[in-house]
Amino acid sequence: MTSCIPVIPSADLEKSLRFWVDGLGLSVDREMRYEGKLVGCMVHNEHIYCWLNKREGTPIKQEDYEGIRLYWAPVNIHQTRERLKRLGYDVSEIAERDYGQTEFFVTDDDGHSHCFGVATEA
């Protein structure tokens, strides 16, 4: 295997792009539309690729829906956290964990949990 591209379900792709593009700084391409509405697209940079796909069923997140959880390794954890915070996301405090990672968490508009972590500096 040479790569894996996560397929991430979204209730509203246009709204989701605020997190993926404005929040994480990824680019969008390969947009797929159905009856004028965005139903799929690739978000990426030079290192990572994710496919966002319209979630089937109700657009309202069900109570027990866990979706996916992504663990990100940002270049600058503080800048990433501040950018997401400025966009209005409820980001956790940055915490140093006993397993050697410094992390914070945020939930995107579709209810997906994202953890951003870097190795704790000694």
What is the per-residue pLDDT for 20?
97
Helix residue spans in 2-76 (DSSP H): 13-17
Q: What does the pLDDT look like over 86-105, one tens digit per residue?
A: 999 999 999 999 889 999 99
Predicted confidence (pLDDT) at residue 107 exceeds the cutoff of 80: yes
Q: Which two tokens stand for residue 100?
A: 């050697």
Q: What does the pLDDT look like over 4-18, one tens digit per residue?
A: 789 898 989 999 999
pTM of the model as a whole: 0.80
| Cα distances (Å, whole numbers) of residue 16 to 20, 55, 62, 66 | 7, 12, 17, 17
β partners of residue 75 = none
Compute the average pLDDT of residues 21-49. 94
45 and 39 in contact (C-beta within 8 Å)? Answer: no
